[in-house]
Amino acid sequence: MGEEVIRGSRGKSAGILAVSLLLFGLGVWQMTRDPTHYWKAIPLVLLFGCGVVVFTFQVLLPATLTLGSQTLTYKGLFGRGFSVQWDDVESFHIWQNPVARQRLPAWTYRPGCGKAGVMASVASGLGADGAVPGLWEISPEQLLERLNERLRGR
């Protein structure tokens, strides 16, 4: 199988950027409307100001997921990412994030493979050894199908 690149969705990121801009603007408006209580709007401005920065970058430089012959490689915000060897993966499944209402394609490592340590214990205790973050052009179920096809075809 040849290399396949799946890109992050600019449209989904732009939608979240628009909401962040709206709420950031609401916070700024609240600060200027009542100068004696401006401090109440500071958390809103800081939180959604960060959202504006992050989602602007995601619109301009969307994440990529490269399904290569030997590895699955994720590259996200500011070029940060990770690689996972196909041979180290036992299975892929959909994982429900217990904190956010988000469904992500996730994997479990084969016994003796993967990372060791405290964080690995925490991750596996949550039902997955790792997950593919991001807003993709395809659904989590479609991405899961492609990952499993790659895993079976190696």
> Is 149 in contact with 124 (CB distance < 8 Å)?
no
pLDDT in the model for residue 125 = 57
pTM higher than the cut 0.85: no
Q: Report yes or no: 56 and 1 within 8 Å, Cβ to Cβ.
A: no
DSSP secondary structure, the chain, as one string: ---EEEEB-HHHHHHHHHHHHHHHHHHHHHHHH-GGGGGGGHHHHHHHHHHHHHHHHHHHS--EEEE-SSEEEEE-GGG-EEEEEGGGEEEEEEEE-SSSS-EEEEEEEPTT-S--SHHHHHHHHTT-SEE--S-BSS-HHHHHHHHHHHHHH-
Nearest CA-CA partner of 52 in 76, 27, 80, 35? 27
pLDDT tens, position by position, for the chain (154 residues)? 689 999 999 999 999 999 999 999 999 999 999 888 888 899 999 999 999 999 999 999 999 999 999 999 999 988 899 999 999 999 999 998 778 788 899 999 998 887 654 445 555 556 788 899 989 999 999 999 999 999 988 6
pLDDT of amino acid 98 = 76
Q: What is the pLDDT of residue 123?
A: 55
What is the CA 10 to chain-centroid distance, rounded? 13
